[in-house]
Amino acid sequence: MKYKIKEYPEILEKVERMGVEELLKAVICPNFTLDKNRPDGNEVAAFIHPTTEETAKTELPLLNKDKKERTLIASDLEYGTGKMIKGTVGFPSLRAVAETGDDKLAYQMGVLTAKKALEVGYHWTFSPCVDILGNRRNPIVSIRTAGEDADTVLRFGGAYMRGMQD
């Protein structure tokens, strides 16, 4: 199995049939905010940046209303839902969690992030960041990833993913 999408068996079945290129075409899409634009059409994939919990709960279901094939709703939830869904709980970076040395915290972060994401209507997240930090001055990767070596990144990134999947 490529991915775990337990809550949506029909989406899992669709994803299992797709190759990587086809899958990427289905989930990578133009950025829009539900507060301002409501897309229409059957081939829309949604990458939602930031919105409110209330808006997500009321607007996201409309993207799949009367559709045979569900639109996959995705977002980048590396710090929990707090940055992308205003008013929900956010967490420190994965790097900060790795600094504690306790991968159970990364696991719990994944569990809580997935629960809230599912509650408001998200199907997918592009997280955690599993880049290996090669340059401490990198403004993008420096705190998004768990560390500078594969073992640390796999330990904490893996714990986060397992938490989300469980």
42-72: pLDDT as tens digits: 445 555 667 888 888 887 887 777 877 777 7
User: What local confidence, expressed as pLDDT, does residue 147 receive?
Assistant: 93
pLDDT at 41 exceeding the cut of 50:
no
pTM, two decimal places: 0.75
97-117: burial string, b at 16+ Cβ within 10 Å, e else = bbeeeebebbbbbbbbbbebb
Q: What is the mean pLDDT of residues 92-114?
A: 95
The percentage of residues in the chain with a pLDDT greater than 70, rounded to a whole number, is: 80
User: What local confidence, expressed as pLDDT, does residue 6 receive?
Assistant: 64
User: What local confidence, expressed as pLDDT, does residue 114 receive?
Assistant: 93
User: What local confidence, expressed as pLDDT, does residue 105 receive?
Assistant: 97
SS3 of 82, please?
coil
SS3 of 45, please?
coil
DSSP assigned state of 86 = E
**Contacts of residue 54, Cβ cutoff 8 Å, sequence gap at least 6:** 87
Q: What is the mean pLDDT of residues 119-146?
A: 86
Contact indicator for 71, 46 with CB cutoff of 8 Å:
yes
Q: How many angstroms separate the CA atoms of 124 and 4, rounded?
A: 10
* Band (7; pLDDT cuts 50, 70, 90): low
User: What local confidence, expressed as pLDDT, does residue 53 receive?
Assistant: 86
Average pLDDT, the chain: 80
